[in-house]
Chains A and B, each alone.
Chain A
């Protein structure tokens, strides 16, 4: 991995005191007895690990060829699933809000590949289809959820933004920006409390960085030394607002400095970079060392289906498409003779069939009974029990 050094602040006066915070947990300066003492100068110098694209081969990472192909298939499944979802939205089979993850698939797949599924936990925002499919949720239950059918992963009660799978450790899909991040810290709290050995990954978007809940969550994660990886998926835009118009500090990894935890910057267009970063930070989390990863990525579609995307140029979008994580991985596979072009076409056909079958399943799954409206509000099954 590479290093990026960053000086976050410096106020020069005659005599200097430098607090160095290398990677990882630095000594807590607040613990000292002379906390009231104001030095004549204070500066913070910090460096981050970085995980650039193209820096890792699958053999470096100990990945077998089958594992690489499984990653490719999973990313492709997310892509085709969402392309079909967009089509179904156009046909009004899917209603409400639909936020596509297209362009960001290396992050979900790279993460899930580094986790112990069933033991570890993931929580994310409303752009959640990719995380669900990466963790092993089926395309059928995902599509049926968006169709509002009982065969859906949340029995048709959640929709696109609220995918849940207790079995796979997906603690949601959450619709309020930033609100789920303290919940992710609580999931990690429970892992530590129970000594389960599990870790939590709390994903949020760059837009959520403006929410106070994120900062409270970062502080609590570090203060209580919880097994959590906080991940900002920086896709550059909060709906139509580019990060430079919303944030005084756009290098989000630097928030790790304020909260005294390890931080790193990752290229989210290369699944190997994400996988490596996750492996490293999951290992830290298993030792109750929380961290903050800023994963830089790009979404190729609008914020939601109703987004005219006037905030970015076609040229920018086209240029970013050259970095497509799926294309990158496909080229890598072919260049390294992991398999043939024909075999990749076979995977494509297979994924296409899986998604078509998911649509068919969703069509045929029954809508919930009206009586089910009262189910799952409370633990009790006799609700509405309020007379």
Chain B
């Protein structure tokens, strides 16, 4: 096991896939000569040259559409968004073209493309630069949506995403790019898309959390353990397709569930998971499901407000106690 930063794991994944398959190329703002706005693609221009690591002007609609066309015509593009906040400028390309052309063409054209970049809140950036987009993109059939919480998953899932013949939305995080963790040394390390990971086994309450919320869930579980409660933490890793089997099996054991979801609450990932749990495990629940999300407002700038805006570890802890009737 090597210890890698999240950004290094992403770079390894892209590099290995570009070595393996010369149809794969990387395109985006500042990915080449600047070495990546967050240094994810550092050194890749030098290794692969300007044919395959390509800087773009600030034209998200243009270069995302270009990626879709290149994918339709036999290539396997990786399109980097500096952050997914900027994907809204290209929303039409993602949801109308990437997601729907396979279907509308009766399956004649495949769109093997990865749109990747930072997602979610990253501190005092103001409302436009702090959006969690997973519920938005997950609503569209035709897209897959992945949100890895650690370097190992980042590598294994990005490699799978690049090999997938569907358009994949791959959600990273500015605040996790420097996160270090063990990454498998396995040659050609692939993690299947659509399989959740049980981060910690437990018997008293199930906490479901993806992306950086996963780390809140782990801290809450540790705190509960010190008080004699056993929490099971599930990281879905893939939002669409969503591994409900793993979540439902856990709830059959714990009979309680708390969801931590960084999205704004209305029509969010937590809403969907809650619906699916009551559909499949209603009789197993001993308490209403509780979710901890960002506040239902645009992200504020002020330090105290943005901290209050985000899902709080304390809130999640209290929620777990509440569903266990342990208060």
Chain A residues with CB under 8 Å of chain B are: 121, 123, 152-158, 162, 164-166, 171-172, 174-176, 179-191, 193-194, 200, 212-213, 216-217, 219-220, 223-224, 375-380, 385-387
Contact = CB atoms under 8 A, between A and B. Distances in A.
B318 interface: no
| Residue of A174, A186, A189, A191 with highest tally of chain B CB at under 10 A | A186
A190 B69 contact: yes
Given A176-B96, A181-B65, A121 B109 contact: no
Given A172-B101, A176-B96, A186 B74 contact: no
Given A171-B109, A183-B68, A375-B107, A219 B245 contact: no
A383 to B, nearest CB: 8
Nearest to B108: A166
Given A155-B106, A172-B105, A220-B66, A191 B59 contact: no
Given A182-B66, A186-B68, A216-B62, 10 more contacts: A154-B104, A166-B109, A182-B69, A189-B66, A190-B74, A193-B75, A376-B105, A377-B102, A380-B166, A386-B240
Given A152-B106, A193-B70, A213 B61 contact: yes
A374 B109 CA distance: 16
A172 B108 CA distance: 11
Nearest to A158: B104
B95 to A, nearest CB: 10
Contacts of A190: 69-70, 72-75
Interface in B36-64: 51, 54, 56-57, 59, 61-64
A186 B67 contact: yes
| Residue of A123, A183, A379 with highest tally of chain B CB at under 10 A | A183
A179 B92 contact: yes
Contact of B105 (A164, A219, A387): A164
B142 interface: yes
Interface size class, chain B? 35 or more
A172 B166 CA distance: 18
A157 B68 contact: no
Given A154-B106, A158-B106, A220-B62, A186 B164 contact: no
A177 to B, nearest CB: 10
23 contacts: A157-B104, A164-B106, A171-B69, A172-B101, A176-B96, A179-B92, A181-B65, A182-B65, A183-B66, A185-B65, A185-B66, A186-B70, A186-B71, A187-B69, A189-B75, A190-B70, A190-B73, A193-B25, A213-B65, A216-B61, A217-B65, A219-B59, A387-B243
B97 interface: yes
A184 B109 contact: no
Contacts of A184: 69
B279 to A, nearest CB: 10
A164 B108 contact: yes
A217 B64 CA distance: 10
A385 B141 CA distance: 11
B166 A186 contact: no
A379 to B, nearest CB: 4
A212 to B, nearest CB: 6
Contacts of B56: 220
Given A155-B106, A158-B106, A385-B194, A378 B62 contact: no
Interface in B71-100: 71-75, 92-93, 96-97
Interface string B193-234: 010000000000000000000000000000000000000000
B105 A162 contact: yes
Contacts of B51: 193
Nearest to B144: A378
Contact of B107 (A155, A182, A188): A155
| Residue of A182, A200, A380 with highest tally of chain B CB at under 10 A | A182
Contact of A379 (B65, B104, B141, B164): B164
Contacts of A375: 107
Contacts of B165: 379
A179 B164 CA distance: 24
| Residue of B51, B164, B241 with highest tally of chain A CB at under 10 A | B241
Contact of A179 (B72, B93, B109): B93
A172 B62 CA distance: 18
A241 to B, nearest CB: 21
Contacts of A162: 104-105
Contact of B75 (A166, A181, A194, A378): A194
B285 interface: no
Contacts of A179: 65, 92-93, 96-97
Interface string B92-132: 11001100011111111110000000000000000000000
